Protein backbone atom coordinates (compact mmCIF):
# COMPACT_ATOMS: atom_id res chain seq x y z
CA UNK A 1 0.00 0.00 0.00
CA UNK A 2 1.35 3.41 -0.98
CA UNK A 3 1.48 6.04 1.72
CA UNK A 4 -0.52 8.98 0.30
CA UNK A 5 -1.34 10.83 3.42
CA UNK A 6 1.69 12.21 5.24
CA UNK A 7 1.21 15.67 3.81
CA UNK A 8 3.40 18.46 5.12
CA UNK A 9 3.79 22.09 4.12
CA UNK A 10 6.64 21.06 1.84
CA UNK A 11 4.66 18.33 0.09
CA UNK A 12 4.48 14.60 0.57
CA UNK A 13 6.62 13.03 3.24
CA UNK A 14 7.16 9.46 4.29
CA UNK A 15 7.11 9.51 8.10
CA UNK A 16 8.92 6.20 8.42
CA UNK A 17 12.23 7.57 7.22
CA UNK A 18 11.63 11.30 6.82
CA UNK A 19 12.44 11.28 3.13
CA UNK A 20 10.35 13.23 0.67
CA UNK A 21 8.33 11.11 -1.73
CA UNK A 22 9.23 12.37 -5.18
CA UNK A 23 6.59 10.17 -6.81
CA UNK A 24 3.79 12.05 -5.12
CA UNK A 25 0.31 10.79 -5.96
CA UNK A 26 -1.04 14.28 -5.35
CA UNK A 27 -2.52 15.49 -8.59
CA UNK A 28 -3.27 19.19 -9.05
CA UNK A 29 -2.69 19.71 -5.33
CA UNK A 30 -5.24 17.07 -4.38
CA UNK A 31 -5.13 13.57 -2.92
CA UNK A 32 -6.27 10.62 -5.02
CA UNK A 33 -10.02 10.09 -5.11
CA UNK A 34 -11.11 8.76 -1.70
CA UNK A 35 -13.72 6.56 -3.41
CA UNK A 36 -10.85 4.18 -4.19
CA UNK A 37 -9.51 4.02 -0.62
CA UNK A 38 -9.71 0.89 1.48
CA UNK A 39 -10.23 0.92 5.25
CA UNK A 40 -6.46 0.99 5.83
CA UNK A 41 -6.12 4.02 3.53
CA UNK A 42 -8.78 5.92 5.49
CA UNK A 43 -7.12 4.98 8.79
CA UNK A 44 -3.68 6.03 7.50
CA UNK A 45 -5.08 9.33 6.22
CA UNK A 46 -6.46 10.26 9.63
CA UNK A 47 -3.32 9.09 11.43
CA UNK A 48 -1.21 11.25 9.11
CA UNK A 49 -3.42 14.29 9.66
CA UNK A 50 -2.92 14.16 13.43
CA UNK A 51 -5.90 12.09 14.48
CA UNK A 52 -4.01 8.95 15.41
CA UNK A 53 -6.25 8.11 18.36
CA UNK A 54 -9.47 8.76 16.43
CA UNK A 55 -8.30 6.80 13.37
CA UNK A 56 -9.02 3.57 15.21
CA UNK A 57 -12.74 4.48 15.20
CA UNK A 58 -12.68 4.37 11.39
CA UNK A 59 -10.94 0.99 11.60
CA UNK A 60 -13.43 -0.34 14.15
CA UNK A 61 -16.39 0.75 12.02
CA UNK A 62 -14.68 -0.49 8.80
CA UNK A 63 -15.04 2.86 7.05
CA UNK A 64 -13.55 2.69 3.57
CA UNK A 65 -13.36 5.55 1.09
CA UNK A 66 -16.83 5.04 -0.34
CA UNK A 67 -18.31 4.98 3.16
CA UNK A 68 -16.31 8.06 4.14
CA UNK A 69 -17.76 9.97 1.20
CA UNK A 70 -21.29 9.09 2.35
CA UNK A 71 -20.81 10.15 5.98
CA UNK A 72 -22.90 12.99 7.33
CA UNK A 73 -21.87 15.38 10.07
CA UNK A 74 -24.08 13.44 12.47
CA UNK A 75 -22.40 10.15 11.50
CA UNK A 76 -19.00 11.55 12.43
CA UNK A 77 -20.20 13.27 15.62
CA UNK A 78 -22.23 10.38 17.03
CA UNK A 79 -21.58 7.22 15.06
CA UNK A 80 -17.85 6.90 15.65
CA UNK A 81 -17.82 7.27 19.46
CA UNK A 82 -15.08 9.90 19.45
CA UNK A 83 -14.91 13.10 21.46
CA UNK A 84 -16.87 16.07 20.15
CA UNK A 85 -13.91 18.41 19.53
CA UNK A 86 -11.89 16.03 17.36
CA UNK A 87 -15.08 14.81 15.66
CA UNK A 88 -15.99 18.36 14.63
CA UNK A 89 -12.49 18.97 13.26
CA UNK A 90 -12.46 15.65 11.42
CA UNK A 91 -15.75 16.44 9.73
CA UNK A 92 -15.19 20.12 8.94
CA UNK A 93 -11.52 19.97 7.91
CA UNK A 94 -11.27 16.51 6.40
CA UNK A 95 -14.48 14.61 5.60
CA UNK A 96 -16.39 17.57 4.15
CA UNK A 97 -13.47 18.81 1.97
CA UNK A 98 -12.81 15.26 0.72
CA UNK A 99 -16.50 14.95 -0.21
CA UNK A 100 -16.40 18.31 -2.00
CA UNK A 101 -13.22 17.36 -3.86
CA UNK A 102 -14.79 14.06 -4.93
CA UNK A 103 -17.95 15.75 -6.19
CA UNK A 104 -15.98 18.38 -8.14
CA UNK A 105 -13.67 15.81 -9.74
CA UNK A 106 -16.61 13.63 -10.78
CA UNK A 107 -18.85 16.44 -11.97
CA UNK A 108 -17.01 16.89 -15.24
Residue 7 lies in a domain: no
| CATH assignment of the domain containing 61 | 1.10.150.50
Give the residue from 35, 26, 28 showing the smallest Cα distance to 4. 26
Q: Specify the long-range contacts of residues 39-44, CB closer than 8 Å, at least 24 apart.
A: 39/63, 39/64, 40/1, 41/1, 41/4, 41/5, 41/65, 42/68, 44/1, 44/3, 44/4, 44/5
Residue 20 lies in a domain: no
Residue 26 lies in a domain: no
User: Considering the entire predicted model, what is its pTM?
Assistant: 0.74
State how many domains the chain has: 1
Q: For the segment 50-92, what is each residue's pLDDT rounded down to a tens digit?
A: 999 999 999 999 999 999 999 999 999 999 999 999 999 999 9
Residue 97 lies in a domain: yes
Residue 3 lies in a domain: no
| Domain ranges, residue 67 | 33-106
Return mean pLDDT, the chain.
Answer: 81
Amino acid sequence: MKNYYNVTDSGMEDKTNGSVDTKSPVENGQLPDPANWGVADVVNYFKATGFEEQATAFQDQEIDGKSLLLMTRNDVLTGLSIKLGPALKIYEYHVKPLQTQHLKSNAS
